[in-house]
Amino acid sequence: MASSRGDTRARILRTAADLFQRQGYGATGLNQVLAASGAPKGSLYFHFPQGKEQLAAEAMALAGAETGERMAAALAAATGPADAVAALGALLAQGLEESDYRDGCPVATVALEEAGDAGPIHDACHDTYQLWLSGLAERLHSWGTPEPESRELADLAMSSLQGALLLARVRRDSTVIHTVARRIGALAAQGVN
């Protein structure tokens, strides 16, 4: 029985993460999450007693951690700063292309709507971006980029890639992601001692 409950919770959470990524917080209703997940109606408040806000915060944390794992793997395989930023760009472009340009960043849609307000959704978005930025900054530092420049370059790379991801989604063409990644990667490579 516990396994079934855990499966239901995981299914609701995964479905919510996908819907929030695609539609945002305001446009995603709890009934829609239940219908798309195939979960029984009473299960949502059983698993998420604080309601939609708790569901969104946990969904952002889940999606952020999953993307963070893929980013960490890409960074681990990179041979230097330029390659690292290019790998992150390729990862983001791949996700966008595979969704036929429907899905951008797994947390940005909700972050734009809700992260300005204090609370669990803000915290989940903040922690997700911090995880991603820390991973990149630490990798840049491991190649010899001094502190705090590695953190500044990570901020520049991530914010540039996020903007490129949005522009690529609107254009339905991921070329801009690769261009931005190449340019920012070249800049990051200059920071290595």
Q: Is the pLDDT of residue 165 over 70?
A: yes
Amino acid identity of residue 144, one-letter, is G
Residue range of the domain that includes 183: 53-190
Amino acid identity of residue 52, one-letter, is K
Nearest to 21 by CA among 51, 80, 66, 70: 66
pLDDT category of residue 5 using cuts at 50, 70 and 90: low
Q: Does any domain span residue 30?
A: no
Q: Does any domain span residue 177?
A: yes
Q: Does any domain span residue 57?
A: yes
Q: Does any domain span residue 2?
A: no
pLDDT of residue 126: 94
pLDDT tens, 112-162? 987 677 899 999 999 999 999 999 999 999 999 999 999 999 999 999 999
Which CATH number does the domain housing residue 162 bear? 1.10.357.10
What is the tally of structural domains in the chain?
Answer: 1
Averaged pLDDT score across all residues of the chain: 93
Q: Is the pLDDT of residue 1 over 60?
A: no
Q: Does any domain span residue 38?
A: no
Q: Does any domain span residue 5?
A: no
pLDDT tens, 50-88? 999 999 999 999 999 999 999 999 999 999 999 999 999
Helix-helix angle 2-23:52-77, to 10 degrees: 80
| Residue 163: both structure tokens together | 């903007």
Q: Render 18-85 in DSSP notation, one character per residue.
A: HHHHHH-STT--HHHHHHHHT--TTHHHHH-TTTHHHHHHHHHHHHHHHHHHHHHHHHHH-SSHHHHH
pLDDT of residue 2: 46
How far lies 26's CA from each of 15, 29, 191, in Å? 15, 8, 41
Q: Does any domain span residue 139?
A: yes
